[in-house]
Structure 1
């Protein structure tokens, strides 16, 4: 349980978030209504199958092309100007674009439709960096996961509704008129809602803007490379998801027809299952994250995606369908065939896991990117997303058309590649896997309650000091922190064969006693000073050893030595509920009970460097213990 926790409905109803949510929802809805209607019109108008495939692929390419060409400029503009005004301008431009789009649908003039698709892609290119970079300016840090979950779920619901609406109405006798009115109305609604988005000041008003496509694109990747490795690998992870998602969505009709033996309604049902499951996964992610950015869920989501892709690839094809027998099963018949239901179950599993996987990554990018370059980082993310979607098309063509693989074989390949990609990312950024271990430990063995975690600064150097009750204290403090913390660990424990890999992954700092190894003792303090100079968080247990009786022992003067050398704030923390656990000196070696043990992590207000005294810090930790006891009672 966290302080100031708000329900999703409260955030969704707030003036700081609702207008942006509505604007994004109707933007995605409008895009997909028009794109789906145009794709069907292009296919219907084509003289043959080859022409239909050419026009549909050309339309998809024209929509993605602006992301390659203009994302650099979009990121620079989003950084340089006030964001709500930019959004209003972009949404206002959507109205004349949709006027052209309506005319193209009514006249069914091919090149006018393709021109509109390109202009829609251009508009989305400039809107993308704004909609994500504006969120941290209007929602609290502990609401980022919630906000991203709502945006992602709303987007996929809009994609679903837009696709179904565009598919259904364009095939009706008065369909072109309905679609034309709809896209104009949706554009107007989106513009009206954008006028209520709160003002968001420019991140870098002095940023130099360039119209050069190459240099502007290069600049956003230069900015991306300057971010922490966790941000860079999060961008890579999101782009990889879009590759998987694009392949699944493009192969879904053929999968349903040739593997499930289903008709058009079954295709629509599969799309509904996949889209709604992503929306559900995005919302469920916030619950599992306990309203914070929980990176431990990302490896969990990646693992589930691999498992469900594998299971989907192993589902047997329907035995009643052959190319010579064009009978396709209706939705009712498919549902009556018990084995076919598993196809929908695995699709839903992939979608839910995708929500677990993407939402924390988007939130991490927003939180950890430098404020002055956040929009450009998201612009670089958009370029990579587009590149990976193009790669998805190439991969599909090579495997399905050239090598003549079955779709199940392609899904199996994706499962393997997803596992390899996850291993690569988590090897490069061990924090993800470390958080995963901590998350599993917390949910399997303990019930964790955090209080005051907002006192841990989201940026800048600080030292975290806490009482030392068990061997896993550092894990629970790390779980409560929005940022990585480098803990000082007694060298014999750090280098122990069973735990060395874990402490190395956590980038812990080994320290030995001054008498036994004065050189290692000094190196530890040098490394702490270097870490603080880089703006990192460092965690220490000033008691110097595990508690023998559960009480808080005297704090040693090492903390004063650290602060005298590098004056930074100190954050007092009290841990409760771990005394008597299997990891403490009063160990009760037993399996976890169904009634999970309650662990409390209470974080106090920062203490200025000038006021740091070891004895006073101990008193503050004791005061946090009393505060927790009173609150718990």
Structure 2
């Protein structure tokens, strides 16, 4: 993959480039400045108060919901009544997301967010007073009313907690911040579920629960008062109380975003469908498939919830503190694999004689392959963290600032819709068709594979990043220095030495942003590689003498990409190195910058000369040990200072940062 811009005059026609319809990077929030981002996340006021507020909100929700669920079941005269009450409670909690998410998104867009969070948290106090009364009196209708108001509060809090993050978190911290929020949420769900289940069954349980929900609401409100001010993204936005108009507005905001944002919303909603089915089916799966008792059910819930938290935290490490979309397909593949393994019923008869008595946790751990089923549950949770965290971060980064809250509100509506779909799917398969839970899990595995293929076909960037990520991990160790010299937003041209056919992949692996590379047209159109280059949105170029139209169009495409705020990558040598050294840089880079005055970022690639992808050896097999590839990124060169010879000298200097002994 190389520039191959021949010497000669630039095309005479100067077509004005149009702005890209899908800018890949959105400018940062207005109030961001470097000093604001000093300090670690959990030790800084810019993140810790929001994290703690979110944690206690999720904890309080689940303490109350779990206690109410058990009370409703105990209050019911029959099993059917108990099922009706529990489903009614679940429906009432989700209903506000359908009705009021549009208003919540609009309000979060036009209002200072920290103030709005404090108002929402203040409203939680009277809601929990009603909730405490409902638990002490055990009035079913009052419990259901409280559940509805809790759902309403969550509806207005959701767009705030996610849209506020990009205002107080640096771009290279978004993945970590979302990982912490997700892990904290699922730990809170777990603790709330266990606490609510245990204490409501005690003699003084209603009193304990009432004190807990009031105390948690108070602590959450106090923490919210320390959240720093966050400017309104769109203070002039017209707010409407019309449910239909407001919902339509948030989906219009979603449709105006790039396809990667839209498909990320679909991916997140699909995860909530899978998660809802697993959580609701878990007790019956443990009891009827694994033969475990109540403690085994609790253990399975702990394993699944904590694994999501672990996966969310690991995601930041695997992403190298960036938004790494290559992890999303990896997570999707693992979810499909472990759903399939979980759908295979354990062979307990060979190890344990079945009886009517349910197995204890120690018996499950030591019986047949049932321990592995707990492992599969944990693996699904970890994979879910890999899958969701980058998607949330991508939505926050690539959504325009003046519509971010509304996009998140639209995401909440779709999440609720998919969760209703999970209930319908469970009822149809388990009750109507009388499938077993393992059969339902097998169907989920197949559907997850199909949904993943659909998303990655529509947004090839996910699959491309996955291929690059796997290549960088499995075959090479990539050491990047100076990657902060690649700007977070705005146009620039990235140039470097050209030693192998996969140089562009390693530059992409080192870059926090997508880069569109200029490719020699015959290679671009080759049957074996065309699909890959098209997926990478590469720009084909040919010799001006051989194909003047293609030559001119390449310059137009480069100018259009730069006008749209994208990064463009070229290899100014115009060919692969024959001996590993850096050849003369051609003047095509100067023509590009003359037409589009943007910064140029020099870099040096080390460690690829002599590999199977270079010209040193035609038939070199991959080495079994990991090879070190060095990507050294230099400081940007201003457009007025761009000179081909000077750029070559800068790349030569960067070569000194690579140690050949490390190969």
Report the Cα distance in structure 1 between the residues aligned to 2:242 and 2:639, rounded to whole angstroms: 47
Match of 2:581 among 551, 554, 566: 551
Whole-angstrom CA distance in 2 between matches of 1:629 and 1:203: 47
5+ residue gaps, structure 2: 1-33
SS of structure 2 residue aligned to 1:483: coil
Report the Cα offset of residue 584 of structure 1. Answer: 1.8
- Structure 2 residue aligned with 1:377: 407
**Is the alpha carbon distance of 1:318 and 1:105 closer, same or farther for their aligned partners in structure 2, counting shifts above 3 Å?**
farther
- 3-state SS of the aligned residue for 2:568? strand
Change in Cα spacing, 1:184 to 1:588, as seen in structure 2 (3 Å) is farther
Give how far 1:594 is off: 5.5
Q: Deviations over 1:192-235 (max 9, x none)?
A: 11111122222122222221111111111111111111111111
In structure 2, what is the equivalent of residue 568 of structure 1? 598
8 Å Cα contact 1:259/1:318 also seen in 2: no
Matches within 5 A, 1:190-205: 190-205=220-235
Mapped partners of 1:524, 1:376: distance in 2? 37
Higher relative contact order by CA 8 Å / sep ≥ 6: 1 or 2?
2
TM-score by length of 2: 0.91
2:347–2:368 contact (8 Å) kept in structure 1: no
Tell me the equivalent position of 2:24: none
Deviation at 1:549, TM superposition (A): 2.6
Structure 1 residue 630, shift from structure 2 partner: 12
**Deviation, structure 1 residue 26:** 0.8
Partner in structure 2 of residue 598 of structure 1: 628
Structure 2 counterparts to residues 183-582 of structure 1, below 5 A: 183-316=213-346, 318=348, 326-582=356-612
Q: 2:212 aligns with which of 145, 163, 182?
A: 182
Q: Distance in 1 between matches of 2:78 and 2:109?
A: 47
Which residue pairs with 2:11 in the alignment?
none
SS in 2 for 1:12: coil
Give distance in 2, aligned partners of 1:618 and 1:220: 49
1:217-258 superposed Cα distances (whole Å, 9 cap, x missing partner): 111111111111111111110100000000000111111111
Show CA shifts across 1:402-421 (max 9, x none): 11111111100000000000
> Residues 146 and 291 of structure 1 are in contact (CA less than 8 Å); yes or no, is this contact kept in structure 2?
yes
Q: Equivalent residue for 2:31?
A: none
Higher helix share: 1
**Once structures 1 and 2 are overlaid, which stretch shifts more, 505-514 or 546-555?**
546-555
Count of paired positions: 624
Matches within 5 A, 1:612-631: 612-627=642-657
Taking the aligned partners of 1:79 and 1:110, their CA distance within structure 2 comes to 36
CA distance in 2, matches of 1:619, 1:204: 47
* Partners of 1:320 and 1:105 in 2: CA distance: 47
**Structure 1: distance between partners of 2:610 and 2:653:** 21
Selected match of 1:169 from 158, 182, 199: 199
CA distance in structure 2 between the partners assigned to 1:604 and 1:29 by the alignment = 47
Instruction: Give the CA RMSD over aligned residues.
Output: 2.2
* Equivalent position of 2:119 in the other structure: 89
Structure 1 residues 19 and 587: alpha-carbon distance in aligned structure 2, compared to 1, 3 A threshold: farther
Aligned to 1:107: 137
Cα deviation code 1:276-315 (max 9, x no counterpart): 1111111111111111111111111100100000011112
Question: Equivalents in 2 of 1:393, 1:120: separation in Å?
Answer: 20
For residues 315-336 of structure 1, give each alpha carbon's deviation from its aligned partner in whole angstroms, at most 9, with x where no partner exists.
2375599xx9742222222222
How far did residue 58 of structure 1 move? 0.7
Aligned-residue offset at 1:578: 1.8
Query: 2:99 corresponds to which residue?
Result: 69
CA distance in 2, matches of 1:523, 1:202: 42
SS in structure 1 at match of 2:343: helix
- Report the Cα distance in structure 1 between the residues aligned to 2:252 and 2:556, rounded to whole angstroms: 31
- For normalisation by structure 1, the TM-score amounts to 0.95
Q: C-alpha separation between the residues in 2 aligned to 1:372 and 1:619?
A: 43
In structure 1, C-alpha distance between the alignment counterparts of 2:40 and 2:662, rounded to whole Å: 26
Bigger mean CA deviation after superposition, 222-231 or 494-503: 494-503
Which shifted more, 596-605 or 134-143? 596-605
How many angstroms does 1:595 deviate by?
A: 4.4
- Alignment match, 2:19: none
> Matched residues in 2 for 1:234 and 1:341: separation?
34
